[in-house]
Structure 1
Amino acid sequence: MKKRIFLLPLVFLMSCQDFLNQEPQTALTQEQVFSKLENIDPLITGLYTSWRNARKDRGGFMFQLGGDESQQGAFQVKSEPDQAGLDRYDGFLAPRNNALTQQWDMRWPIVTAAAKAILALQTNKEDENRRNQLLGEASFIWAAVCFELTQYWGDIPVIDAGKIAELGTGRKPLPMVYDYLVRYLQFAADHLPESQTDKRRVTKYAAMALLGKVYLYAPQAAGVRDYQKAADQFQKVIQSGKYSLVPKYADLFDPGKANSTESLYEFQFTNTYPDNNQTQWQMGSRALASVDGNCSFGGYDLMVPTAYAYSDVTKGGVWETGDTRKDASIRYDFTYKGEAPKLLSGFGGDELDPHVKKFEDPRTQGTMSFWYSGKNIFYLRYADVLLCYAECLNELNRTSEAVTIVNDQIRNRAFGGAIPASLKWASGISQDDFRTKMLDERMRELAFEGWRRMDLIRSGKFVSLIKARNNWAAQSNTIQEFHMRYPIPLTEILQNEEIPPSAQNPGYQQ
């Protein structure tokens, strides 16, 4: 089997079972290296780079396919069966699916490296404050990646380098997984600084926000879903006074205005390889790519909005008249140098349908290939914190307060600072109506930023909304409830004796 090797020194990975047993490949032993904080710091920096790189190019958007918000372009569906299975929910969405295997393989080395750093830092005897900050950063990254993995695959291995003999590398029940998530994020929240000069590094408020999300998004089976605890974490972020919505929504996606007052954490990219994000290569229109490889909105249609995500309410979609987030999020006009491009024959025919706009990098226009797109990509931002807090208040029977937050902050900004009276949410709406409205509001505010699949899973609307809104899922008509979890990759089952075929997620056959 192909080795899974990650780009941090001292750590090499073969499979979930043996990735903690590799010997250091340097002149120094692992114990010697980890005895000095000055040696551990570069490893933490490497963790950030590996985590960031797992969220760029296709890796950043593969999990967004197959939703009610985004799907593949037609040519992508025609040309790549494994990838197409993520939208079609057909026989190609199986343990042998290479597109999912790549994402699984990309993330476990990060978890393993973080686990080794956590163990080393727990025993380090140097500067306690500095050690705890580094430990908080390693704990945050471990938790962030494992939160993503457990949301999509369910039971996952718990990689604790100090307990590998006890825990092994088999799948662990959700209560154990989420117990680790909560403990690691609480430690991070307690020991990370309030701000970081190096924007690559996380703060205590990012840890609080993610901990709030863990309490809010946890499946009931995990035993930790708690709206009050989630609200408490979000409220700490809000009351810190360190964050605020930027006045103009479109400014969030201006590369000249990165790391704004709305950003709790964003992945840092540039237009120079290897720090470019390659995102536009996947998001833009093939019709424009054929005209000019330096067109900033060219690309290859990997992920495009569903008709629901780009259409107005009057046409069965999500957008209300006057919402400025619409044109900031989605490209409708493909006029280039005064001319309308033409569709190419032999492709999908949807290359000039609306496309994702948020990731376009105008700095590449006319000077370099759109492959070099390098805008920062949001992970956590303040608007999401406000929306999550409002959800918690609604679940705690404080719906009128939740409505006020959404109206006065999120929707007011969306309509240019003055929301029309007819579009304000009524303070007396029911708890269930609020839930329904919030699903659409999160799509409008956070479109294509990576939370939609999780939102559908936790809302219980995964099958119904995808079947109704995703063109490819509707055509195949094979999506079922078990598809909320991805199949454990066959390569993992073959290499890891602690994850046998019988441990596969229900509904999938080898």
Structure 2
Amino acid sequence: MKVKILTAMASIMLFASCSDFLDQDPNTALTEEQTYSKMDNIEPLVLGMYSSWRNVQKDRGGLMFQLGTDETQQGAFQVMTTPGQAGLDYYNGFLSQENTALAEQWDSRWLVLQSAGQAIYALNNNTEADTARRNILLGEASFIRASLMFELSQYWGEIPILDQARTQELGYGRQPLPDVYTYIINDLKVAEANLPATQSNKALPVKYLAQALLGKVFLYAPVASGARDYTQAKEWLGKVISSGKYSLLANYADVFSPDHANSTESLYEFQFNNTWPDNNQIQWQTGSRAIANLDQYAYFGGYDLLVPTQYCYKDKSAGGIWEPGDKRKDASIRYDFTYRGITPTIPAGFGGDELDPHVKKYEDVRVDGRQSFWNSGKNKPYIRYADVLLCYAECLNELGSTTDAEGYVNQVRTRAFGGTLPAGMNWTGLSQADFRDRILDERMRELAFEGWRRMDLIRTGKLVQYVKTRNKWAAESGTIAEFHNRYPISLKEIQLNDDINPEDQNPGY
């Protein structure tokens, strides 16, 4: 059975991936009995999960789900040379069950989920007297399982539920969405009840992060799951706001500066630095190939995997999203490619867009002139307080309190304009429908390249409508369809998992 193989692989991968940033040196080859009987053996497993969760956010893999939106797309040279990956933007025949780029993302996350299920089962059956320690570990493992199930279900729909206490009953097949979201919500409630308010190790979650993700789950849950609930979402997000633990930084650009890592705006960041294996290589994938050809030690060089769409980088007057004076524009997107007085040229045979605007948020000036941009290692945001405020505002609007919702959006916009909203830039007097239309642009301005856009388009039913006109490659192919709201289950999963058969594939593939 495939899952037995995955269990062994997960243990090897998770223990091997524990790097110095967790200050752990776990033992390997633990027997199941040892793991289940001693918390000293369970704790390294839980810590290893956080290392591995971080590692799926690294390099190309951590950006794959951002392809094929109206916010980001692949650079031209990538599309020309990598047809399978290009299918994620073209929405053509290469976006199929044979797509290895997607299969890798599915597989890497299930390895972590398998270990989360193992740890939860072990902790629920542990009889040691130190219940306080046990409860924190249970909260941490439950948070991991919930966060990954939420991500996978958003992109693939019905997914297996890995619960060792119910393996005979559930098997390893895809489960109905109501059951999947019941698990996600219950896991997050366990996490919220057991996680501490602070953790000295920033790689580990706290109570307020579980509250924020609960709010997002109730907001983002598919209607078919029966779990979308704006009142519940408002309640959980409101707990974060009323806690007084978080606030917006005065300067938007500071949010992405290593000097302000894990700030009062951050509920959670994936922790990285400039030394392998704790570098994230994101700049390698988001910078300009023309700069890379000029100097491998230029901090904003790269290889154009992920670039902004024209809709994302243009001003509103030119058909894009940016309003005059919004400081988030230049903090998020690079428009100027002059490096040490030299402006590079695009060599023949490239895609031609290497000097078009690029992602700026992950540029790591600490490597400039000293290390290759492959060693980029700024932290990667997961949930920020600005996101909490915008999600809370959406809930208020859906519940009929649009005027109150405008106030929370204006908090975010005030910071975006340097602390004072210019005349005409505050949101006021909107109808509920107008608010719905405008909030997606506001979320792109605030949260561009942070990984939420595809989910935002799916939950609002806008994926096909917006991507087919705003994404260059999707517009060129003209083949995006409603069934693309879900990714295909990989052929390897169907072949190896006895409980997922060809007829279980998502429609359209």
TM-score range, shorter chain: over 0.9
Tell me how far apart the structure 2 counterparts of residues 419 and 83 of structure 1 sit (CA, whole Å).
41
Q: 8 Å contact 1:8–1:47 — kept in the other structure?
A: no
Deviation at 1:28, TM superposition (A): 4.8
Alignment match, 1:256:
259
Residue deviations 1:321-357 (CA, integer Å, cap 9, x gap): 0000000000000001101110111010000000000
Q: Quick one: which of 126, 133, 145 aligns to 1:130?
A: 133
2:415 is aligned to: 413
Alignment partners' CA distance in 2, 1:261 and 1:439: 25
Q: Does 1:398 align with 2:397?
A: no
Instruction: Please give the alpha-carbon distance, in whole angstroms, between the structure 2 residues aligned to 1:303 and 1:11.
Output: 28
Q: Distance in 2 between matches of 1:448 and 1:110?
A: 24
Give 1:8 deviation, angstroms: 3.3
The CA distance in 1 between the partners of 2:220 and 2:419, in whole Å, is 30
**Number of the residue aligned with 1:317:** 320
Give the percent of matched residue pairs that are identical in Structure 1 and Structure 2: 62
Task: Name the residue aligned to 2:38.
Answer: 36
Distance 1:6 1:310, change over 3 A: farther
Aligned to 1:213: 216
Report 1:463-502 matches (<5 A): 463-502=464-503
CA distances 1:351-392 after superposition (whole Å, capped 9, x unpaired) = 000000000000010000000000000001100000000000
> Alignment partner of 1:266: what SS?
strand
- Are the structure 2 counterparts of residues 199 and 156 from structure 1 closer, same or farther at C-alpha, using a change threshold of 3 Å? same
Q: Indicate conservation of the 8 Å contact 2:10/2:115, yes or no.
A: no
Describe the superposition over 1:127-173 as per-residue Cα deviations: whole angstroms up to 9, x where unpaired.
11110110000000011111110000000001101111110000001
Instruction: Write the distance in 1 (CA, Å) between the matches of 2:456 and 2:171.
Output: 31
Could you tell me which runs of 5 or more consecutive residues in structure 1 were left unpaired when the two chains were aligned. Answer: 13-24
SS state of the match for residue 269, structure 2? strand
Deviation at 1:257, TM superposition (A): 1.1
Q: C-alpha displacement at 1:51, in angstroms?
A: 0.3
Identify the residue that residue 353 of structure 2 maps to in structure 1.
Answer: 350
Q: How many Å separate the matches in 2 of 1:268 and 1:353?
A: 30
Could you tell me whether the CA contact under 8 Å between 1:311 and 1:319 is conserved in 2? yes
1:166-177 aligned within 5 A: 166-177=169-180
Give the letter for the 2:432 counterpart: Q
Instruction: Kindly indicate whether the alpha-carbon contact (under 8 Å) linking 1:7 and 1:46 is maintained by their aligned counterparts in 2.
Output: no
SS at match of 2:60: helix
- Check the 8 A contact 2:14/2:52 in 1, yes or no: no
| Contact residue 35 and residue 122 of structure 2 kept, 8 A | no
Where 2:383 maps in the other structure, the secondary structure is strand
Deviates more, 1:383-392 or 1:123-132: 123-132
Distance in 2, matches of 1:394 and 1:457, equals 19
Match of residue 291, structure 2, among 288, 295, 309: 288
Which residue does 1:197 correspond to in 2? 200
Q: What is the CA distance between 1:34 and its match in structure 2?
A: 2.7
Look up the SS of the partner of 1:61 in the other structure. helix
| Runs of 4+ residues over 4 Å off in structure 1 | 1-7, 9-12, 25-28
* Counterparts of 2:364 and 2:10, CA distance in 1: 27
Shift of the 104–10 alpha-carbon distance from structure 1 to 2, 3 Å rule, reads: closer
Pair 1:11–1:351, CA change in 2 (3 A): closer
- Structure 2: gaps spanning 5 or more residues: 16-26
Q: CA 1:374 to 1:26, structure 2 compared with 1: closer, same or farther past 3 Å?
A: closer
* Cα deviation, residue 10, structure 1: 9.4
Written as runs of structure 1 = structure 2, the 5 A alignment for 1:71-150 is: 71-126=73-128, 127-150=130-153
Do 2:464 and 2:480's aligned partners in 1 also have CA atoms closer than 8 Å?
yes
Is residue 459 of structure 1 aligned with residue 460 of structure 2?
A: yes
Structure-2 separation of matches of 1:26 and 1:151: 33
For 2:297, the aligned partner's letter is N
Q: Is the 8 A contact 1:157 1:172 kept in 2?
A: yes
What is the deviation of 1:35?
Answer: 1.6
Query: Structure 2-normalised TM-score?
Result: 0.95
Counterpart Cα distance in 1 of 2:28 and 2:448: 45
Match of residue 383 from structure 1: 386
Deviation of 1:70 after TM superposition, in Å, equals 0.1
SS of structure 2 residue aligned to 1:264: strand
Query: Counterpart amino acid of 1:300?
Result: Y
CA-CA distance at 1:26 after TM superposition: 6.1
Q: Pick closer, same or farther for the CA change 1:8–1:411 going to 2, 3 Å.
A: same
- On the 8 A contact 2:304/2:354 being kept in 1, the answer is yes
State the alpha-carbon separation in 2 of the partners of residues 37 and 7 from structure 1.
19
Deviation at 1:7, TM superposition (A): 5.5
3-state SS in 2 of match to 1:328: helix
1:8 matched residue in structure 2: 11
Kindly report which structure 2 residues correspond to 1:335-346, keeping only aligned pairs within 5 A, or say none.
Answer: 335-346=338-349
- Aligned-partner Cα distance in 1 for 2:109–2:408: 35
- Paired position in structure 1 for 2:23: none
Contact 2:289–2:302 (Cα < 8 Å) also in 1: yes
